[in-house]
Amino acid sequence: MNEAEFFDAEFGINITDKGYANIALLRDGMIEAEKQVADYQKALEKLEEDYDNGNISADEYRQGVEEYSSAIKEGSDDIRQYEDALVSMYKTQIQNENDLLQKNITARKNALTAKKACF
């Protein structure tokens, strides 16, 4: 991910169309991963219900629990990656804004020093 493309070239703090598209893709991916995790959790509950009712064997139950638990972990990891990508993007934006403000502060200090030197 090239975050430089997600912010304007002049100041680096305004999100570009590419940046907004990336945010939308990340959000959509996160929503899809959350839905998948919820589906696997429901399937796990159904599996437990089937086991409690004697509809499946202990081996089938254990295998199902392993599969669904693994899928839930993978989905949760995906959600975390989407969150991390969004946070990284916003951290970059905040850092760019801070850098811009620091340059402004430095320029104002230099102007004040030059003004004092004239008087």
Q: Please, how many CA atoms are within 13 Å of residue 66, restricted to the half-sphere of its CB?
A: 6
**Measured between alpha carbons, how far apart are the two ends of the chain, in Å?**
51
Structural domains of the chain, count: 1
Report the range of poorest mean pLDDT among 25-29, 74-78, 93-97: 93-97
Q: Is the pLDDT of residue 1 over 60?
A: no
Rounded to an integer, what is the distance from CA 31 to the centroid of its chain?
11
Count of helix runs (H) and strand runs (E) in the chain: 2, 0
Give CA–CA dist 45/68, Å, rounded. Answer: 10
Report pTM: 0.76
Percent of the chain beyond pLDDT 70? 96
Q: Is the pLDDT of residue 3 over 70?
A: no
Give CA–CA dist 119/76, Å, rounded. Answer: 64
* Domain that residue 70 falls in: 3-118
